[in-house]
Amino acid sequence: MSFGLGHGRELDPALGVVGVGPEELLPLPDDVVQNPESGWVDPRLWFEDPSRPFEIEIGSGKGAFLVQQGAIEGGTNFLGIEWAKEFYAYAADRVRRRREGDASLTNVRLLCADASEFLRWRCPPGIVRVIHLYFSDPWPKSRHHKKRVVQDRFLADAYRALSPDGEIRIVTDHDELWAWDVAHFDRWTHGAPPDPAIAELTGGAPAYELRAFDAPQSAGESELVGSNFERKFRIEGRSFHAGVLRRKG
C-alpha cells in the first residue's frame, strides 16, 4: 500500500513547509495489519496550532477551496489530500506563495496520498470535524467503480475518524455517481450499518443522517463550493448534487 509521497525535495519547494514530508509521515510499520493502531499519526501536529478544529479535503485539485476557505476560517486547520502529483504540487506551491506574500494560510497543508487509505490506516479515531469531498472522479466505467471514493469501507473509516456530530460534505455534477452515493448513504442512514464493527459501536442504530448542504462562507453567490471544477462546470451548464452526512452516536 502506497501513500504517494513521490516528490523529490529539490522538485517540490513546498515540501516540509506546506506539503507533508516523509519526516512527518513515516512508512507504515510491518505489523500494521495485526496492529492497526501502529500506523496512526496525529495530523493535527503538522500545524502550528494543533488545538484548532481539524478538517480534511479529499481531492484538492488546484487548491481553490483550501485557499479560499482557509483564508476566511483561520481558526481551523485544513489538510488537503490529493493523489495526482501534478495537482498536489500546484496546490502546495500556490499555498506556499500565498504565505510568502501575506503570511496567511499557515492553517493549510497538503498531502500527496490516497485519502481513503489515509483514513483507514493513518487517522486516529474522533479527530476530524469535516471531510470535504467535492467533484471527485466519477469513474464511469463499471470495472472502475471500485475506485470511487464513496464505498462502505470508506464510510466505516470516516465514521471512526470523525468527531461526534462530524460531517462528510459532498458535491458532484455526475448524475450516475450521485445515484451510487445515495445508494450507499441509504445503507448507512437506515437501520444497522453494513459494517459489523460500526454496527456494534452504534448498537445497531444508523451511523449517519443525511442533511441538506449549506455552502461554505468562501463560496460566491449562487455557488455551492466555488472550486475550479464547479466554476468550469457552471459555464458548461451542468447541474449539481450536494448533501451532508452527519455522524450520529
Tell me how crowded residue 237 is: count the other CB atoms within 10 A of its CB: 6
Which residue type occupies 21? G
| pLDDT for 7 | 42
The pLDDT value given to residue 185 = 98
pLDDT tens per residue, range 161-190: 999 999 999 999 999 999 999 999 999 999
Q: Is the pLDDT of residue 5 over 70?
A: no
Alpha-carbon distances of 150 from 126, 135, 157, 184, rounded to whole Å: 19, 12, 11, 7
pLDDT recorded at residue 12: 62
Rounded mean pLDDT of 107-135?
Answer: 97
Give yes or no for residue 82 having a pLDDT over 90.
yes
CA quadruple 172, 176, 179, 185: dihedral positive or negative? negative
User: What sign does the CA torsion over 200, 201, 206, 207 have?
Assistant: negative
Q: What phi and psi, each to the nearest 5 degrees, are found at residue 188?
A: -100, -10
pLDDT (0 to 100) of residue 78: 98
Kindly report, residue by residue over 180-236, the tens digit of the pLDDT. Answer: 999 999 999 999 999 999 999 999 999 999 999 999 999 988 899 988 888 889 899
Under a CB-based contact definition with an 8 Å cutoff, are residues 67 and 41 in contact? no
**Per the structure block, which three cell numbers stand in for 80?**
488537503
pTM across the whole model = 0.93
Average pLDDT of the residues of the chain? 93
**At residue 8, does pLDDT exceed 50?**
no
Concerning whether 137 is annotated as a catalytic residue, the answer is yes
The residue annotated as part of the active site, out of 30, 42, 114, 137, is: 137
Q: Do residues 47 and 107 make contact, with C-beta atoms less than 8 angstroms apart?
A: yes
Q: What is the mean pLDDT of residues 69-94?
A: 96
pLDDT (tens digit per residue) in 32-77: 999 999 999 999 999 999 999 999 999 999 999 999 999 999 999 9
Residue 2 has pLDDT above 70, yes or no: no
Check: CATH 3.40.720.10 for 9-247?
A: no
- Tell me what pLDDT residue 227 has: 86
pLDDT at site 103: 86
CB 28, CB 110: distance < 8 Å: no
Provide CB contacts within 8 A for 186, sequence distance 6+. Answer: none
